Amino acid sequence: MVPLTNRKVVVMKRFIIMVSSLLVLIFQISAKPLPAENASHPATDAYEGWRLAIQAWTFNRFTFTEAVDKAASLGLRWIEAYPGQQLRAGSKEVKMGPELSANDRAAVRKMLRDAGITLVNFGVVDLPNDESACRKVFDFARDMGIETIVSEPPPEAFDLVDRLCSEYKIKVALHNHPKPSRYWDPDKVLEVCKGRSRWIGACADIGHWLRSGIDPLQAIKKLGNRILISHFKDLDQAGDPKAHDVVWGTGVANVPVLLKELDRQKFKGVFSIEYEYNWENSVPEVRSCIAAFERLAGSLKPGGWMSVLADDLSNCVFPAGSWSMAEGVLSPHGGGDIWTKKRYSNFVLDLEFKLEKHTNSGVFLRTGDIVEWLHAAIEVQILDSYGKKEVGREDCGAIFDCLAPTMNAVKPPGEWNRYTITCRGPIIDVVLNHQHIISMDLNRWKEAHKNPDGTPNKFNTAYKDMPRTGSIGLQYHGHPVWFRNIRIRELR
């Protein structure tokens, strides 16, 4: 053997150190949770590419904070704000719009994130032929992440507006208030859009077209790809300025035909529900509009998201009288758990839950036996563990008795939490309130009563052998708990 020179020894040592460091780094990375399919919570739109929002004007008798709460209760993930709405109770002078302070803007962004809602549009707002005034609106839109400003600018302002649209990368949609407003006629919209960039287009307000005596279908065909967003409505009658909103599909708008035409045009954009009737208590009617939209839009191009539970719970198994659904909220009344009749294999499950102090509950996945479920189901724990600095295998977000969450992400009792649970083959990922807290490979749980780290668990079945197909269940453990917006998208 030929002895190594000193130089070769040094080079070899450096190489060994480099390889060792690389192996340590690889180990550290591999020890971390794998990224979930959805690193945060997904959009759950019925038609991929169509986003169903609420125009906060629907709730103009309430504050913007209350409007966001109502939108969240309806399962909506998008909202359009309007200028001048009181931001929150007790501060009448603080209103949505460009005059909001930096602190209030930050508070709104946090509130929206906590509610799982994105602010996409803003209007109807003035855009005069005044660069300073317009920039205030565009600056506000950029700061809040708004995609589209809805406005009725004067014709002489279009050079300025088009230039700002291109600079800020924010669209401006021309709104059609009823006749004799500036853009009530789609021909006028086309006239002012001629030669303009694609940042400028139409906000197709279906209800106002009907009030002005314009056939919405012909207007949609005429405007074509100039339609950026829609204030979508259905009315009780056409040609009458006093006509009022009704549940979509029950009025004169011919909603199925309008949606079919927009689908034919390959429209990609936001539909804002602007329900201008029964102002103090419109949530039930808005909920019915959402159901109609999801049924009709989903039949045109299914996005894959479906409600897990029927409104009457007819697709579930549970002890008689032990669960009820009211205004979209599922509540237990004692007596047992609730299970889906349908069995699921690979899926993304998205739901919200609310608990009280000391509440204990859970979400069961792929349950092979809904009677003897303990050793035939994987449970994602629901527990009032708010405020705990260290969390274990029985705290909220855990795979019960098997794997602790990486952090404590549950909200205080009385607030709504959101789970997104992804099951694909042996991999289970859990996101709780925007935090990816679980990434589990079932194949690592090779023995009954034993976790990979050597700690015991109570299960007679090794988790690698747990059923890969089964019912989804929600647990009643003797404590108050509420669920809403339970949706699922099956994976191939």
CATH number at residue 85: 3.20.20.150
For residue 415, pLDDT beyond 50 = yes
Give the span between the Cα atoms of 456 and 446, in whole angstroms: 12
At residue 47, what is the residue type?
Y
Q: Last residue of a domain, which of 255, 273, 303?
A: 303
Shared domain check, 407 and 293: no
Which region among 24-28, 284-288, 289-293, 435-439 has the lowest average model confidence (pLDDT)?
A: 24-28
Same domain? 223 vs 251: yes
Same domain? For 292 and 322 the reply is no
The answer on 480 and 346 residing in a single domain is yes
Determine contact, residues 92/86, Cβ cutoff 8 Å.
Answer: yes
User: 339 and 399 share a domain?
Assistant: yes
Check whether residue 419 and residue 480 sit in a common domain: yes
pLDDT on residue 26: 33
Q: pLDDT tens digit string along 99-154? A: 999 999 999 999 999 999 999 999 999 999 999 999 999 999 999 999 999 999 99
For the residues 74-90, what does the mean pLDDT come to?
97
Range of the domain at 72: 50-303
Give the residues across from 168 on adjacent strands: none
Instruction: Give the model's pLDDT for residue 390.
Output: 95
Identify whether 222 is part of a domain: yes
In a domain, 33, yes or no: no
For residue 142, being part of any structural domain is answered with: yes
**Residue environment code for 359-391, b if the CB has 16+ CB neighbours within 10 A, otherwise e:** bbbbbbbbbbebeebeebbbbbbbbbbbeeeeb
Q: Judge whether 39 lies within some domain.
A: no
Of the residues 272, 303, 334, the one at which a domain ends: 303
In a shared domain, residues 76 and 190: yes
Number of domains in the chain: 2
pLDDT at 302: 87
Instruction: Kindly state the average pLDDT of the residues 353-373.
Output: 97
The model's confidence at residue 335, banded by pLDDT at 50, 70 and 90, is: confident
Is residue 94 situated within a structural domain?
yes
Give the other-Cβ count within 10 Å of 403's Cβ.
26
Q: Residue 356 maps to which CATH number?
A: 2.60.120.560
The per-residue pLDDT of the chain, averaged, comes to 93
| Residue 375 and residue 482 in one domain | yes
Per the listing, tokens 């480099």 go with: 18
In a domain, 11, yes or no: no
| Cis preceding linkage at 426, omega within 30 | no
pLDDT at 29 over 60: no
Distance (Å, whole) CA 435 – CA 412: 16
Question: Do both 212 and 66 map to the same domain?
Answer: yes
| HEC per residue, 4-54 | CCHHHHHHHHHHHHHHHHHHHHHHHHHHCCCCCCCCCCCCCCCECCEEEEE
Residues 279 and 384 in one domain: no
Judge whether 364 lies within some domain.
yes
pLDDT bracket for residue 14 (50, 70, 90): low
Q: 242 lies in a domain?
A: yes
Residue 19 has pLDDT above 60, yes or no: no
Of 5-19, 82-96, 475-489, the least confident: 5-19
Of 303, 333, 356, the residue that ends a domain is 303
Residue 257 sits in the same domain as residue 141: yes
287 and 350 co-located in one domain: no
